[in-house]
A = this chain, B = another copy of it.
Amino acid sequence: MVSTVDVATRPQAAPDRAQPDNVNDFALVAATVNGSGSQTANATLLRALFKMGIPVTGKNLFPSNISGLPTWYTIRVSKDGYTARREKTEILIAFNPATAEADLAAMPTGGVCIYRNDIRFAARRDDVIYCALPAKEMAKASGADPKLLDYMANMVYVGAVAELLGIELDEIKAALLFHFKGKAKAVGLNYGVVEAAAAYTRENMKEHVPFHVERMNGTAGRLLIDGNSAAALGAVFGGVTFGAWYPITPSTSVFDALTEYLGYLRRDEATGEATYAIVQSEDELAAIGMVLGAGWAGARAMTATSGPGISLMTEFAGMGFFAEIPAVIWDIMRMGPSTGLPTRVSQGDVLPVYYLGHGDTRQVCLLPGSVAECFRFGWEAFDLAERLQTPVFVLSDLDLGMNFWMTAPFEYPDKPMDRGKVLDAEELRAAGEFARYRDVDGDGITYRTLPGNSAPGAAYFTRGTGHNERAVYSERPEDWEQNLARLFKKHDTARGLVPAPVVDQHPGARVGLIAYGSVDPTIVETRDRLRTTGLETSYMRLRALPLNDTVHDFIAAHDVVYVVELNFDGQMRQLLQLHCPEHAAQIRSIAHCDGLPLTARFVTEAILEQEKKGHRNGHNG
Contacts and interface: CB of A to CB of B under 8 A. Distances in A.
Interface of A: 63-64, 307-308, 310-312, 314-315, 318-319, 321-323, 335-344, 346, 348-349, 351-353, 355-362, 463-466, 475, 477-478, 480-481, 484-485, 488, 546-547, 549, 552, 567-569, 571, 574-582, 584-585, 587, 593-596, 616-617, 619-621
B335 A480 contact: yes
A340 B360 CA distance: 10
Contacts of A344: 466, 475, 480
B339 A319 contact: yes
A593 B479 CA distance: 11
Given A336-B358, A355-B352, A585 B587 contact: no
B338 A349 contact: no
24 contacts: A308-B315, A308-B358, A311-B358, A318-B338, A323-B338, A336-B359, A337-B360, A344-B480, A348-B360, A349-B359, A352-B355, A355-B355, A360-B568, A360-B569, A360-B593, A362-B569, A477-B595, A546-B621, A547-B621, A576-B621, A577-B581, A581-B620, A582-B616, A584-B584
A352 B361 contact: yes
A311 B318 contact: yes
A38 to B, nearest CB: 18
User: What is the total number of copies of this protein in its complex?
Assistant: 2
Q: Mostly helix, strand, loop or mixed at chain A's interface?
A: mixed
A475 B63 contact: yes
Given A341-B480, A360-B567, A581-B619, 5 more contacts: A311-B318, A319-B339, A337-B359, A581-B584, A581-B617
B577 A480 contact: no
A85 B357 CA distance: 29
Contacts of A362: 569
A348 B484 CA distance: 12
A448 B312 CA distance: 28
A364 to B, nearest CB: 14
A578 B572 CA distance: 12
A239 to B, nearest CB: 28
A307 B338 CA distance: 20
Contacts of A351: 355
Contacts of A64: 465, 475
A322 B515 CA distance: 27
A240 to B, nearest CB: 24
A488 B568 contact: yes
B341 A357 contact: no
A148 to B, nearest CB: 28
B337 A361 contact: yes
A339 B619 contact: no
Nearest to A591: B360
Contacts of A577: 577-578, 581, 584, 621
A359 B352 CA distance: 7
Contacts of A594: 477-478, 480-481
B318 A595 contact: no
Shortest 4 CB-CB contacts between residues of A and residues of B: A336-B359, A579-B621, A338-B464, A477-B594
A572 to B, nearest CB: 10
**Which of A321, A360, A568, A620: most chain B Cβ within 10 A?**
A360
Contacts of A310: 358
Given A359-B336, A621-B576, A341 B466 contact: yes
A478 B307 CA distance: 21
A145 B619 CA distance: 66
Given A352-B357, A359-B349, A322 B340 contact: yes
A480 to B, nearest CB: 6
A478 B596 CA distance: 11
A359 B343 contact: no
B307 A358 contact: yes
A312 B596 CA distance: 30
Nearest to A323: B338
A76 to B, nearest CB: 18
Nearest to A338: B464
A585 to B, nearest CB: 4
A342 B464 CA distance: 11
Contact of A584 (B335, B569, B582): B582
Nearest to A575: B621
A410 to B, nearest CB: 29
B355 A475 contact: no
A492 to B, nearest CB: 9
Contact of A314 (B312, B343, B576): B312
A440 B580 CA distance: 40
A301 B617 CA distance: 38
A485 B567 CA distance: 12
